[in-house]
Structure 1
């Protein structure tokens, strides 16, 4: 009896970093511009905070301490009234690299571009995993083209102590971001790779930490492509590449330093290839992505056809006079075996 699997495994996943991958800079820039805050000074302070707190005996995350510093600006008035809705509005101002978001839809059509792909209902999904702000990404022009967004999130008007004992809670009119709800750093990003892999993002009843055979995983990692901009993404590059997926780094075409950085990653074996953050149709980056999506689709077709052949036996056939079985007993056994296999 053939084992029934959870998923058809006919999904290809393109997974993207955000800052300096899809946009030239950092997504928080519109916040600083809207509120008149010196962006360079803000990031300089953020970069100094881990050492300052270490001297006080407290360890903090280099990737996400900026979230707390944003809240400090809210509490001290310079970002007063900053809400999740406002972050979504500011996300509309984000400017993407050339070719986006058009490329996202064009890549989806690659998965249905050939009859054999359509026969097996192959689809392509886009995901963004970012240490940046999920609400800003949700407000950006690329949001309608993606199937999932994972990023850091804030809580507004947090519930007070002992809220569970109160029948009626006081209405807090000061809705602004005041606590960190979700933290995504460059290591936690790997968790979301496995959520996509196991299908936890589509079915919350599937625990991302649960043991699961490859055959039951919704999107095997060897059917993923991960695109990001540099060394901070090494944990995800490693997980994807070591499990058969494709790791691709991009660089700002105007930056010699970023080009050299990606070349170092390639020679260190961290990535498969790299290219400019130019997503127009004729760019080398777009061509590389299309080529490897087709290769993954071809693999899905080959595996699906092989599985079908293995599960479907040969139909019984009429014997002819010129058929020469080794002996009557062998012929009888062979015919019976064919008959039962096809029942």
Structure 2
């Protein structure tokens, strides 16, 4: 029998790295401050009623062209090398995967980010993720962006949670995603999901976790601690922790306890199903979630 799967879903900016990924190298290369760039991008979006993610992607291309700065798939990937990850992030995936193995489950990791996939691919941890859902350009044969390929705004993030749930990971496959599927045949039950984010942009996904039996965690730096505490007070997340993924931290220990709990629930569900089959009874759909 295949091992149960537990999926960790992550925002990226200010969740795994310390600030917006464009702030590290791209914006300074324009001779701008992050405040100046984001004011320009947001102003363009508001004036022209453009989706915020499309607005910043357009502004990136326009400002780079004005300054004759290289803007290609490869240049963006190279910028990913300058990302500053939170303490413990690089070792986190190996450690969490190993703990899952000890508990008899398979742990998978996914990114759901409004940032750029290309920069994430250069971050040094992209190989840890089964799939990266992030905003992305379509490039011509010379690696230059010609059109937005995918945009991931705050509410659109939830569709990717459903993709992980059903195991329909190809973003071009909408038909299978929307096909009816019994709960007990879905690849990763919501009850086996953990979403880790940092703020209001993650609330739609966090609310899904809370509504469907998964777990929602918010991490914080001192600059956004009050906002994260408000999420906890309003019942939008289950836990909040400093953004330190090192072994032995409160975040590390709680993540392991969540895996342990989910693994136990899966084992209880399997035993219940075995007993029902042995007496010729029926297994209720999604019965594991009833424990």
Q: Fold-level match, TM-score > 0.5?
A: yes
Q: Which of 185, 192, 205 is the equivalent residue of 1:236?
A: 205
Match of 2:96 in 1: 107
Q: How many matched pairs? A: 278
Match of 2:37 in 1: 42
Match of 2:63 in 1: 73
Structure 2 counterparts to residues 60-209 of structure 1, below 5 A: 60-79=50-69, 81-114=70-103, 117=104, 122-157=105-140, 175-201=143-169, 207-209=176-178
- Does the alignment pair 1:220 with 2:189? yes
TM-superposed deviation, 1:70: 0.9
Give the TM-score normalised by the residue count of structure 2: 0.89
Aligned equivalents of 2:137, 2:32: Cα separation in 1: 20
TM-superposed deviation, 1:272: 0.8
Aligned equivalents of 1:91, 1:264: Cα separation in 2: 31
**Structure 1 residues 136 and 84: alpha-carbon distance in aligned structure 2, compared to 1, 3 A threshold:** same
Give the TM-score normalised by the residue count of structure 1: 0.76
The unaligned stretches of length 5 or more in structure 2 are 281-291
**Secondary structure, in 3 states, of the residue corresponding to 1:12?**
strand
Aligned equivalents of 2:163, 2:64: Cα separation in 1: 32
Match of 1:292 in 2: 258
**Secondary structure, in 3 states, of the residue corresponding to 1:208?**
helix
**Secondary structure, in 3 states, of the residue corresponding to 2:251?**
helix
Aligned equivalents of 2:241, 2:267: Cα separation in 1: 28
Deviations 1:136-158 (A, max 9, x none): 1111111121111010111223x
Aligned equivalents of 1:243, 1:107: Cα separation in 2: 23
Aligned equivalents of 2:185, 2:114: Cα separation in 1: 29
TM-superposed deviation, 1:9: 7.2
**Whose Rg is larger?**
1
**Kept after mapping to 1: 8 A contact 2:13/2:113:** yes
**Structure 1 residues 38 and 259: alpha-carbon distance in aligned structure 2, compared to 1, 3 A threshold:** closer
TM-superposed deviation, 1:27: 0.6
The unaligned stretches of length 5 or more in structure 1 are 1-6, 54-58, 158-171, 315-343
Aligned equivalents of 2:278, 2:98: Cα separation in 1: 31
**Kept after mapping to 2: 8 A contact 1:14/1:225:** yes
Match of 1:278 in 2: 244
The structure with the largest helix share of the pair is 2
**Kept after mapping to 2: 8 A contact 1:248/1:273:** yes
